[in-house]
Amino acid sequence: MSPLLPVAMLLVCSSIFVNGWTDAPNAIATVVSTRVLAPRVAVVMATLFNLLGIVCFGSAVASTIANLVDVGTGADPLIAICAAQLSIVVWSVSAWKFGIPTSESHALIAGLMGSGIAYNGLAAFHWFEFAKVLWGIFISTFVGFAAAYCVTKLIGFAFRRVKRAVTNRLFSVGQVLSAALMATSHGAQDGQKFMGVFVLVLLLAKNRPVPQTVHIDWWIMLLCAAIMGIGTSVGGYRIIKTMGIDMVKLEKYQGFSAEIVASVCMLLTTVHSGIPLSTTNTKGSAMMGAGAARRFSDVNWGIAKEMVTTWILTFPACMALSFAMTKLFVYCSEIL
């Protein structure tokens, strides 16, 4: 058993907490910004439905993440995992300080890639699994925007002759349901990603091979959901403000459209292919599409540009940070 196991588990839990702190609020940003639910009620709902998503949608995404890189050789492979998790925390907290929603999924993937390459070179990197990551970026960015734009246009056309008061009541109820579905999809995607790392840590600590399909115990699911929920309750509102108020102000039917599109994209890729999608990227793109469907000027493209820039920078920044931390940790372990 590796002596680094407690440290690695603590760092994975810290990453899960930061995910709840900076990423999970994206799932409830619209339902809060449209004033359908109060922030505290939305956080409780998000916590419960995150657990549902974690429990009910298998382990396809977790298996993709656990098999992304091979760090199974060397002095102690958990050194690489520790470096990757620490880089995620540093990057995500830095982005949160400025209220910028960053993608924990991209940070996690880039961190694992940087550590794996630093530890075992390019041979550690599994290109087949990375292809799923690239598909995820395409779906969350382009499909999310286009689908939300079209769905919002369709709903606006279908309800064009219905009184505003009636549609507001109807889509207020619809938003509660769509926000619950969005929180479920976040658990199914991001919960699985970090559970995949958790299982990877336990297998590496015991010098066991990583199977193509990983098994996740119930206690890991419950621990992940609890930590994520605590993180959301502690620091979520700053991200909600950036996503749901500063970037674009949505009507209730637009918020419903964005949540439905983002949820369907995430759940379909979770169940059928194990493609890891970023909740921040998918929801943000869908909100931009829903806002632009009424008027392109409804979207604050300056805020949107900051968010997209952060998404783009996350991959090289987290990879480089994780690479450097891994080299440093390995050097320190050799001289101690």
CB atoms within 10 A of CB 288: 27
Range of the domain at 28: 5-335
The Cα 138–Cα 155 span in angstroms is 25
CB atoms within 10 A of CB 66: 28
Cβ-based burial of 168 (10 A; exposed 0-12, middle 13-18, buried ≥19): middle
DSSP-based three-state secondary structure for 38: coil
Measuring CA to CA, which residue among 97, 96, 108 is closest to residue 11? 108
Which pair of tokens denotes residue 118?
Answer: 């630093």
Q: Distance between the two ends of the chain, CA-based, in angstroms? A: 19
Give pLDDT tens digits for 152-201. 999 999 998 888 889 888 998 988 898 888 888 888 888 888 888 888 88
Long-range contacts of 117-123 (CB under 8 A, 24+ apart): 117/69, 117/319, 117/323, 118/80, 118/83, 118/322, 118/323, 118/324, 118/326, 118/327, 118/330, 119/71, 119/74, 119/77, 119/79, 119/80, 119/326, 119/330, 120/69, 120/70, 120/71, 120/73, 120/74, 123/70
pTM listed for this prediction = 0.80
How many domains does the structure of the chain reveal? 1
The Cα 24–Cα 1 span in angstroms is 33
The Cα 63–Cα 273 span in angstroms is 11
Q: Who's near 59: CB < 8 A, 6+ residues apart? A: 192, 195, 196, 213, 214, 215, 216
Measuring CA to CA, which residue among 197, 1, 195 is closest to residue 85? 197
Task: Please state the φ and ψ torsions of residue 125, each to the nearest 5 degrees.
Answer: -90, 130
336 residues of the chain, pLDDT tens digit each:
677 888 889 998 988 888 777 766 667 777 777 778 887 788 788 888 888 888 887 777 888 888 777 765 555 778 888 888 888 888 877 776 766 666 777 888 888 888 888 877 777 667 766 777 788 888 888 898 999 999 999 999 999 888 888 988 899 898 889 888 888 888 888 888 888 888 888 888 888 888 888 888 888 888 888 888 787 777 656 666 656 556 677 888 988 999 899 999 888 887 767 788 887 788 888 988 998 998 888 787 887 777 777 777 888 888 888 898 888 888 787 776
The Cα 159–Cα 162 span in angstroms is 5
